[in-house]
Structure formats: structure tokens, C-alpha cells
Structure 1
Amino acid sequence: MPDPDARLADLRPGMSGQVIDIDESVEPSTARRLFDLGFAPGAEVTVLRKSPLGDPFVFQVVEYEVALRKAQAAGIHVRRIA
């Protein structure tokens, strides 16, 4: 059964998740920007790659690639789907 409370930062390259919500601890302006970038509830996000040192991550969301720092990705709750 998929983990209902995983964080986007916990996923490995090749894994996907469906956005559940953005953590309340994320600054409102950052949460709004993430939403505008496509990290909205219900959106499917796939981890494409991580840098060799683990930060930043590159995700595919909506039909484009977005790089986020690990701290930003940790504020996004997802349901793992692959």
C-alpha cells in the first residue's frame, strides 16, 4: 500500500508521487510559488535526477522540468505511485 504521508524529497530517481498538499511550515510565498509551478494537489510528479551531492533535485511536473532544493521538496507531501 502506498505511503500516504511521504515527502517529495524521500523519493528516488524514477519514482513518482501524487501531490497531497504543501506542509504548513512552508512560507506562504514559497507555497504559492510551488503551487504556481504545478505542485498542486492531485498533480503527478516524477523524480528525474538528483545532483551528485543530493541537492538540488530535478522533477517532472505538468509537462516540464523543475529543480528544487531538498528543503523545498521536503515540504511537499505526496502519495507514492511508483
Structure 2
Amino acid sequence: MTEFVDKTLNMLEIGQKARVIQVKGQGSSRKRLLDMGMVPGTVLSVTKKAPLGDPVDFKLKGYNLSLRKQEAKMVIVEVMED
């Protein structure tokens, strides 16, 4: 059975999968995230993190996307746990 726990994108660990619930924020930074594929319903996984944890690399919609922690904090996700 699969359980879901809401978190922000920056809280995920390498290998975790999640589904985007909401993108917070306003203006150009929110629009930029949406344009890059961070739309509600998108499933993604964390592929790697920089040594100091910033930026974080995600795999979504067939490509890799790197985000800084500040950007990742704007994305609310539900973690997909087995």
C-alpha cells in the first residue's frame, strides 16, 4: 500500500519520488517553475544533491532539472512511499 506525506521539494532525499501538489509564490519566480514543468500532478524524483546540498537535481518529464533550495521551498509535494 502506498502512503502520501506532504512536504516541500527541498525536504526530499536522493531517490525519493513525489508528486507536485502546488507551486507557491508570485510573479516571475512562480511562472518560471511552472514553465519548467513543476505543475500540479507531475511526478518527479531526486537524482542528486551538491555536496553542500544546493542545488538539487530532479528528474521529471524525461529531463533533469536543477533547483536551488530557495526555489525548491516553493513547491509543495506529496511524497510517494512504498
Aligned residues: CA RMSD: 1.0
Structure holding more strand per residue: 2
> Following the alignment from structure 1 to structure 2, what is the Cα–Cα distance between the partners of residues 45 and 36?
15
What is the rounded CA distance, in whole Å, between the counterparts of 1:57 and 1:28 in structure 2?
Answer: 22
Structure 1 unmatched runs, 5+: none
List 4+ stretches of structure 1 deviating above 3 A: none
Within 5 A, what are the aligned runs for 1:25-40?
26-40=25-39
Unaligned runs of 5+ residues in structure 2 are: none
Identity of aligned residues (%): 34
Q: Does 1:67 align with 2:66?
A: yes
Alpha-carbon distance in 1 for matches of 2:7, 2:35: 21
Q: Distance in 2 between matches of 1:27 and 1:70?
A: 17
Per-residue deviation, 1:27: 3.3
Taking the aligned partners of 2:52 and 2:12, their CA distance within structure 1 comes to 15
